[in-house]
Each structure stands twice: as structure tokens, then as C-alpha cells.
Amino acid sequence: MAETNKKIFISAGESSGDIHGANLMHCLLERDPGVTFYGLGKEKMRQAGLHSLHDMSKKSLMWLHALTEISTFWKIKKECVSFFRRERPGVVILIDYCGFNFHLARAAKKLGIPVVYYVCPQIWAHGPWRAKKMKKLVDKVIVIYPFEKAFYDKAGVPTFYAGHPLFDEISKIGVNEDMVSRLMKPEAGCIISFLPGSRKQEIVRLLPMFLRSALLIKQAIPSVRFIISCNDAHHLDLITALAKDVGVPYQIVVGNAHEIIKASDLCMASAGTVTLQIAYFRKPMIIAYKISLFGCFVVKPFLTTPYIGLVNRLAGKMIVPERLMYRDNAGWLSRQAIQLTSDERKRSDCVRELSAIMEQIAKPGASARAAEEIATLLRHYYHDDK
């Protein structure tokens, strides 16, 4: 990279973006140890060397909560824009979090700083018109799913498909086999795990329904055991309170999502990246997503894909049961779970389909490919200008 481009601005708001941002930073540093990173991120990005302009640890852009923090976000944006003016970073890299990052993209664009969007918001699923904004605000989009490339290509946005950085993370962390054995124990009976998501709102909506379905499953399969995944230790009290007096034995495990998935015979999960993790371990799953009746009504006309689960979207067909719900449907969940645990043919079909998808996309090296693409963009951007 040219001397003027050594400062890189990078912004991620969510925890998953923080992990992907940190991996990307490591890869960029491997390419050029002289680069320095400034911007917005959380713990992992700070550990990777980010000079944080603002602590994003407790920031959320979920729904109405964002409204309560408008003035804070306004201040953060002003800080970032004055950094752009003062330091003129070589590139602005934005990771997901489009509610805020689009504002930074516009500011950077106005100042003639190249903008790269990495891990795009899922606008292909709900709100494809936003691709026009991407085209206006961003110089390059680095996507993580193969079908996203076709979507952005059609919209005329320069796009590069790098693959999903989740697989870098899985191959880096690996799986603790001792932990898997401990979770499985030498007991008879299958294990069903509940992975209700990483956000408080998702947990509150989904976990009670999962647990109600657990009661029905236990009646049909008495030997079944249940594990509740607590992705974030901050949510342990909430999960414990929601699972109290449920009437079936269960075990709550904090973190160790990969081990929980590997130890399970079936997973019940919220729609999101966790479904790819489950698919990686070739485990049958049921995907549920619950929103309010009003929310369901408002978003329905904008849903452009018939699938809420990424694995079904990637397959282009329903390979695992999924349902978008606005009311409790524990009966449906339990019926699907009983079928998937007891019908061997259905299980093997599901596993075969998941394997086919994973063979296509579960390739590590996404962060390195994204870093390479960013370096190429900068070479063209600055050298072509000269």
C-alpha cells in the first residue's frame, strides 16, 4: 500500500461484525504490517489493534432501541467524519450494521475516500431497493454468500465473493472434543439443543416456545435430553429465568456453541448465522423466527425470498423445516423434532443436503480473500488516479 494509505478506517457494530472485522484486520496486517486501524468496534477488534474512536460494546441498532440512542449515534458520526477530514484514511471498511454504516459511507464518499462494504446487510431478503444505495455509496461490496454476488451484479454494484468468514473462525477455534464427550455423556437417548440467538429480543421470543415444545417432545420420546445454548454470558440470568419451572430436565451451557451443536442429534435455532454453524456440523435442524403480528404484516410485502433460513436459501429449497411465526407454535416445533429424531430416512436426507451445501461454501480463507481484494482495490484506486 502507498504511504498515504496506511491508515484504515473500519467500522463494525454487532458482535459478529467485531469477529469478522478482527479476522480481516489480522489478514490486512499480514499483508502489510505497517497499516494502522482506526474506527468503531468491540473487544476483538480492539485486541487486533484497532484505535477505537468510540466504544461500541453496548450499542445496538435493533428497532426502537436505536431511537433512544439517536443523539449518541449522531455524535459518533460527527467524530468519524472529523477523523475522515483530519486523517484522510486510505479506505473506509464497513461491516454490516447498515443503519449506521450507510451514513459513514456517504460522508467518506463525499470526501473522495474509497468505501468497501464487507458482510452486507441482508437486503436481498427484505428491501432489495436498498441495493441502489449500495451502488451510490460504496466502491466495492465484498459478499459472503454466492447468491449475493448475483443480486449485487444485477444491481450494477461492483462485487466480490469472498466466502463466509465464519468458516475461518470455525477452523481457527476448532472443537473441544472433551467438552463434546462430556455433553454427550454415556447415557442413552438423543440430545436436542436449543440455540435461540444472541440478541435478548430473540431469546425472549423464542426460548419459551422452544421449551414448551420440549415438554411435548419429552412425552413422545422420554429418553431425550435438552441443552440450552447461552451464547453470551450476559444473557445467562435471562435464560435461567425463562427456563425456570419448565417441567423438563435441561442443561444450560454458556458459549461453546460448536461443542453443543456437535454433541446434539437435532438443533432448534433462530434464523441467522448459527444455522450455518449447525449445517457445518451436518446436524439436522429446525429453524424458527418469531416476530409480532404487526411486524409480520408490515414486512410481508417486502420479503423477496420464500425462506427465512440461510441453509434453505442457499439450497433454493426447503431442506430443513423452518417457519416465520407471529404466535407460539410449539406443536409444530415438537412434531418436526419428533420426525427428525425418529425418522432415519428424513434425517439422512437432511444431512445429505446440508453436506452438499457445505461442500460448496464451507471453505476457510474468506478473510484473506477479502483482504486481498481490498488491497487490489486500493492499488487500482490510488495508482489509477495518479
Q: Are 223 and 188 in contact (CB under 8 A)?
A: yes
Write out the residues near another protein by the rule CB under 8 A: 98-99, 102-103, 105-106, 127, 129-130, 132-133, 135-137, 294, 297-298, 300-302
Closest CA relative to residue 162, chosen from 211, 207, 116: 116
CA atoms of 100 and 140, how far apart (whole Å): 18
39 has which bridge partners?
10, 52
Query: Closer to another protein at the Cβ: 107 or 253?
Result: 107
**Shortest distance in whole angstroms from residue 101 CB to another protein:** 9
Query: Closer to another protein at the Cβ: 132 or 379?
Result: 132
**Shortest distance in whole angstroms from residue 306 CB to another protein:** 13
**Shortest distance in whole angstroms from residue 39 CB to another protein:** 17
Query: Closer to another protein at the Cβ: 77 or 323?
Result: 77
Query: Closer to another protein at the Cβ: 92 or 266?
Result: 92
**Shortest distance in whole angstroms from residue 264 CB to another protein:** 36
CA atoms of 168 and 92, how far apart (whole Å): 23
Residue 58, φ and ψ in degrees, nearest 5: -110, 20
CA atoms of 168 and 364, how far apart (whole Å): 5
CA atoms of 184 and 71, how far apart (whole Å): 49
Instruction: List Cβ neighbours of 201 (8 Å cut-off, separation of 6 or more).
Output: 62, 63
Query: Closer to another protein at the Cβ: 2 or 293?
Result: 293
**Shortest distance in whole angstroms from residue 378 CB to another protein:** 24
Closest CA relative to residue 284, chosen from 306, 251, 309, 307: 309
Collapsing DSSP to helix, strand or coil, 160 comes out as strand
**Shortest distance in whole angstroms from residue 203 CB to another protein:** 24
The three cell numbers of residue 312 are 434453505
**Shortest distance in whole angstroms from residue 121 CB to another protein:** 9
Query: Closer to another protein at the Cβ: 147 or 297?
Result: 297
Query: Closer to another protein at the Cβ: 26 or 133?
Result: 133
What would you report as the CA-atom Rg of the chain, rounded to the nearest whole angstrom?
Answer: 22
Instruction: List Cβ neighbours of 317 (8 Å cut-off, separation of 6 or more).
Output: none
**How far does Cα 20 stand from its chain's mean position?**
10
